[in-house]
Structure 1
Amino acid sequence: MKESINKKLQRLNSETERIYESIDKIPAEKLGDQSYGWSIIQVFSHLNDAETASLKYMQKKMQAGDKMNKSGVGNAIRMWLTNQALRSPLKWGAPSYISNPPAYELEEIKSKWTETRKGIQQFVDEYPEQWLNRLVYKHPMGGRQNLERAVESFIYHQIHHVHQINRIKKQLGL
């Protein structure tokens, strides 16, 4: 089952590389332009902050070990519905604890995000097989989920924000 999680992490990282390629030729001042709400850099920062907060939560939750509840069909359905909403171009506000992302330089946020992803990979590598069906993650909309669905949620969260990045690029005339 960890093989499936690792494939999802590879997909997440590949999708991130595609985003970077899509903004490769955009000048730094445009990447930081907040004329239409969040800048592209702030979107990256938000994605990193969400993944960092999720990783910290999972690290703490894992300490409960066998006391973590088991995942069921209801959890899977709720996350599937959440992911379908995230795939859409619909807009909604971020949770308050990650709603005002800082604006970094591009290389700084890329470095921070790379470190977060390394932390997630390490967490997955060290996560005990016998807990793979335990509810270690809590999504703001999708509720409590197991590790595999946590990684899936990162993918769909990122897809959701690709819509936002594309809107920003269009508004900036890029």
Structure 2
Amino acid sequence: MKKAIHEKLKRLNADTANIYASLEEIPVEKLSDTAYGWSIIQVLSHLNSAEKASLKYMQKKMQAGEGMKNSGATNALRMWLCNGVLKSSLKWKAPSYVSKPASYSFEEIKSKWAETRASIEAFVDDFPEEWLNKLVYKHPMGGRQNLDRAVDSFVYHQIHHVHQINRIKKQLGV
């Protein structure tokens, strides 16, 4: 099962590399332009912050050990529905608890996000096999989930924001 989770992390990292490649030729001032809401850099910062906060939650949740509940079909269904919405190009306002993301340079956010991803990979490496069905993660819309579906949510969250990045690029004329 961990092998499948690592494959999802590889896909996530490859998708992130594709995002970076699509932004390489865009002038810095355009990447930071907030004329149409969040800038592209702020979207990347949001993705990093969400993954970092999720990791922190999972690390804390691990302290419950065997006290964590097991995942079931209802949890899987909720996440499947949530991921379906996230991979669509539907647009909605960020929930009130999502603060305005920090602005960094393109290189800074790439570095910070790489650190977060390395921490997530280390977490997966150290995660006990016998707990893979435990509800270690809490998704804002999808509810409590196991580690495999947590990584799925990172994939689909990023897909959702790629739609946003593409809209911003189009508005900026790049």
Aligned with 2:138: secondary structure?
Answer: strand
C-alpha contact 1:5 1:151 (8 A) present in aligned 2: yes
Deviation per residue, 1:142-168 (Å, 9 max, x gap)? 000000000000000000000000000
Question: Which residue is 1:67 aligned to?
Answer: 67
Question: Which residue is 1:80 aligned to?
Answer: 80
Question: Which residue is 1:27 aligned to?
Answer: 27
Question: Which residue is 2:158 aligned to?
Answer: 158
Question: Which residue is 1:52 aligned to?
Answer: 52
Q: How many residues are aligned here?
A: 174
Distance 2:88 2:116 in 1: 26
Question: Counterpart of 1:75 in structure 2: which amino acid?
Answer: N
Aligned with 1:141: secondary structure?
Answer: coil
Distance 1:90 1:33 in 2: 22
C-alpha contact 1:49 1:98 (8 A) present in aligned 2: no
TM-score (norm 2): 0.98
Aligned with 1:144: secondary structure?
Answer: strand
Unaligned runs of 5+ in 2: none
Unaligned runs of 5+ in 1: none
Deviation per residue, 1:17-72 (Å, 9 max, x gap)? 00000011000000000000000000000000000000000000011010000000
Q: Following TM superposition, by how much is the alpha carbon of 1:99 offset from its aligned partner in structure 2, in angstroms?
A: 3.0
Question: Which residue is 1:172 aligned to?
Answer: 172
Q: Following TM superposition, by how much is the alpha carbon of 1:92 offset from its aligned partner in structure 2, in angstroms?
A: 1.9
Distance 1:95 1:119 in 2: 26
RMSD over aligned CA atoms reads: 0.7
- Give the 4+ runs in structure 1 shifted more than 6 A: none
Q: Does 1:11 align with 2:11?
A: yes
